[in-house]
């Protein structure tokens, strides 16, 4: 049996202006899929996400953090890249989503079609913007033991994920996260604010809960056609319950556990379909053996996606022979 292939989809914090631009310009399938979804979004919110994301006056380093734009933008890029692989006959044995990436994972596995997923994404972004106070998320490059060693420092924040032994993320009110950031930097502990405007995976988004759950009750979810490994549970799930897409943005992420689950079953190959290659970087810290030859990313801020796509396609053809 060939080693299973896992497609991974990242969430908020992985986005930036011009993500996937080289694919948009140079790959017909990617471009067409992006434009089709952009038309759906434009009819709903009156804004072209494609025009916003690829605005010539914007730089990659400029803040791109309005959730009504970034929520659909991340999904559009990830799902369009999935369609590129599908067109080439490369299908995953598993799909794995982290946070907002659970939407792309669900679409790829056939839980809902892309149009319905976009409706779920836009509704979530709308109610979060309307009802929730803004917040921040902070990635900390240190052992999670830091939380236990300095409880007073972190008492006004919430742990959202542990990606590997020396990388975890916290969420909270903007002022509190800034104070934590200042203390960590004073003590030369590496940390990086995520480019988000809300405290996802924390109690800060509770005000949107009832309205969004009511919206989700109108949806009927199919069983996944491709095995779906969720960072909500850290394992495989066979059925999507109606609160799933709320829980994926509210509850902590269990990415480390999801990768450990997969690796306990097989020696896998991983392709990161997210915009930044962050999940691929995390996986390389988690898996044993020659991780560089088992884990790849396509889109990065350095705009090498056509070259990366060609390389991964070639490797997959060799692997599948």
- Alpha-carbon span 147 to 144, nearest angstrom: 6
Q: Which residues of 281-310 are buried (b: 16+ CB within 10 A; e: fewer)?
A: ebbeebbeeeeeebbbbbbbeebebeebbe
Question: How many CB atoms lie under 10 A from the CB of residue 226?
Answer: 15
Tokens of 110: 């056939």
Radius of gyration of the chain (CA): 19
* Sign of the alpha-carbon dihedral angle for 64, 292, 81, 218: negative
- 291 belongs to the catalytic site: no
Catalytic annotation, pick one of 99, 105, 157, 197: 99
Give residue 255's Cα distance to chain centre. 11
Q: Are 8 and 259 in contact (CB under 8 A)?
A: no
Q: Where are the alpha helices (DSSP H) in the chain?
A: 21-26, 28-45, 49-53, 67-87, 101-108, 114-131, 145-149, 151-154, 174-186, 209-216, 244-250, 255-265, 278-286, 305-320
Specify whether the backbone of 94 is left (phi greater than 0), alpha (psi in -120 to 50) or beta.
beta
Residue 133: which of 177, 74, 169, 75 has the closest Cα?
177
Question: How many CB atoms lie under 10 A from the CB of residue 18?
Answer: 19
Q: Are 118 and 41 in contact (CB under 8 A)?
A: yes
> Residue 22: CB partners within 8 Å, gap ≥ 6?
303, 304, 305, 306
Active-site amino acid positions = 99
């Amino acid at each position: 049996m060939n080693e299973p292939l896992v497609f991974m989809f990242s969430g908020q914090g992985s986005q930036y202006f011009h993500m996937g631009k080289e694919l948009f310009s140079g790959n017909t399938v990617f471009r067409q899929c992006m434009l089709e979804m952009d038309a759906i979004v434009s009819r709903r919110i009156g804004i072209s996400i494609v025009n916003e994301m690829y605005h010539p006056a914007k730089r990659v380093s400029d803040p791109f953090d309005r959730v009504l734009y970034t929520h659909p933008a991340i999904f559009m890029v990830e799902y369009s890249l999935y369609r590129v692989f599908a067109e080439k006959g490369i299908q995953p044995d598993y799909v794995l989503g982290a946070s907002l990436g659970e939407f792309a994972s669900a679409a790829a596995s056939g839980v809902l079609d892309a149009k319905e997923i976009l409706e779920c994404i836009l509704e979530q972004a709308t109610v979060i913007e309307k009802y929730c106070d803004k917040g921040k998320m902070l990635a900390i490059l240190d052992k999670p033991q830091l939380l236990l060693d300095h409880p007073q420092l972190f008492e006004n924040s919430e742990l959202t994920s542990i990606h590997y032994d020396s990388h975890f993320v916290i969420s909270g009110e903007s002022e509190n996260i800034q104070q934590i950031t200042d203390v960590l930097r004073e003590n030369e502990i590496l940390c990086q604010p995520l480019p988000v405007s809300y405290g996802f995976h924390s109690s800060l988004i509770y005000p949107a809960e009832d309205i969004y759950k009511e919206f989700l009750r109108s949806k009927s979810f199919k069983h996944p056609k491709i095995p779906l490994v969720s960072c909500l549970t850290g394992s495989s799930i066979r059925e999507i319950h109606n609160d799933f897409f709320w829980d994926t943005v509210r509850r902590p992420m269990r990415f480390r556990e999801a990768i450990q689950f997969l690796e306990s079953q097989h020696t896998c190959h991983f392709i990161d379909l997210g915009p930044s290659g962050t999940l691929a970087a995390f996986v390389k810290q988690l898996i044993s053996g020659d991780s560089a030859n088992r884990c790849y990313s396509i889109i990065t801020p350095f705009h090498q996606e056509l070259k990366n796509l060609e390389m991964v396609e070639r490797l997959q053809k060799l692997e599948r022979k």
